[in-house]
Amino acid sequence: MYPAAFEYHRPTSIQDALGLLAKHQDDAKLLAGGHSLIPLMKFRLAQPKHLIDLGRIGGLAGVREEKGAVVIGALTTHATIEHSELLKGKCPILPEAAARIGDPQVRNMGTMIPPRTGPP
C-alpha cells in the first residue's frame, strides 16, 4: 500500500515547525518516529496533505534532570528511556515499561508522544 500524495517538510527549528503547523493547520501532521503514523498513511486511514518531520530539530530528544524534575524530550525514543540510568534511578517503571514495547527496531524509532486529542 502506498500513502496518498503529501508534501514533506523538514524544519530544523521549533519556530519553523510551529510556522508550518500554523500555516497548514488540520492539513498537517507531525512526524516523529513514524511507527504509528506511516502505517496509518499506508492504509490511508490518515491522509495528511503536509507531513512535518521533527527529526532534524535539535534538542527535542533525551532525558535530563532540570531544577529537581526529570525532563523527557518529545523526540525521546523508547530505547533511550529503556536504557536511561537517570530514569532507572528516579522512575524505574518507565524503563521497565519501555523495554516491553514492540521489538528493538520499534523501540529505536518510536518516541514518547503526548496523549492524542483527536484522530491520528
Ligand X SMILES: Cc1cc2nc3c(=O)[nH]c(=O)nc-3n(C[C@H](O)[C@H](O)[C@H](O)COP(=O)(O)OP(=O)(O)OC[C@H]3O[C@@H](n4cnc5c(N)ncnc54)[C@H](O)[C@@H]3O)c2cc1C
Residue in 75, 78, 87 with CA at minimum distance from that of residue 106: 78
Q: Of the two residues 68 and 118, which places its CB atom closer to ligand X in the complex?
A: 118
Closer Cβ to ligand X, 89 or 120, answer by number: 120
The minimum distance between CB 60 and ligand X, in angstroms, equals 7
* Residues engaged in binding ligand X (CB under 6 A): 29-37, 54, 74, 101-102, 106, 110-111, 113-114, 120
Minimum distance, C-beta of residue 43 to ligand X, in the bound complex (Å): 12
Smallest distance, Å, CB 75 to ligand X? 7
Q: Cβ(87)–Cβ(70) under 8 Å?
A: yes
Contact 72, 63 (CB under 8 A): yes
By beta-carbon proximity to ligand X, the closer residue of 49 and 89 is: 49
End-to-end CA distance of the chain: 18
- From its phi and psi, is residue 34 left (phi > 0), alpha (psi between -120 and 50) or beta? left
